[in-house]
Structure 1
Amino acid sequence: MVLFLLLVLVAVFLGIVGVAAEGLGYLLVIGVVVLAADVAVASVRWSRRAGRHSIR
């Protein structure tokens, strides 16, 4: 969970810097890619965790 939040903060920071600084639009793209990858990994981890409940 800590890694997820850290990567979200990094993505937001890169997005803000990419928008604010001229000529650094690639940082915005990198931030979006990091955010999308982070959400994908988190959703896979949460779906695996939800599937481990034993039926009694």
Structure 2
Amino acid sequence: MKSGTKPGRLRFRERTLWSLQNAFTEALKGNLNLLPTRTERLHRLLDAHAGVN
């Protein structure tokens, strides 16, 4: 394990929008064809929730 990295699910232990985005990104890695579209939609959803234009 590299210094400064957290193993597995420990990376998502803190409940923030950042950790939620990381969890979704991790789950979406399997299908590279859908990754860009799903990532863009996720960003729009989280931005709207956070009040970012």
Question: Where on the TM-score scale, by shorter chain, does this alignment land: which range?
Answer: 0.3 to 0.5
- Structure 1 or 2, whichever has the larger Rg, is 1
Bigger helix fraction: 1
Answer 1 or 2: higher relative contact order, Cα 8 Å, separation at least 6: 1
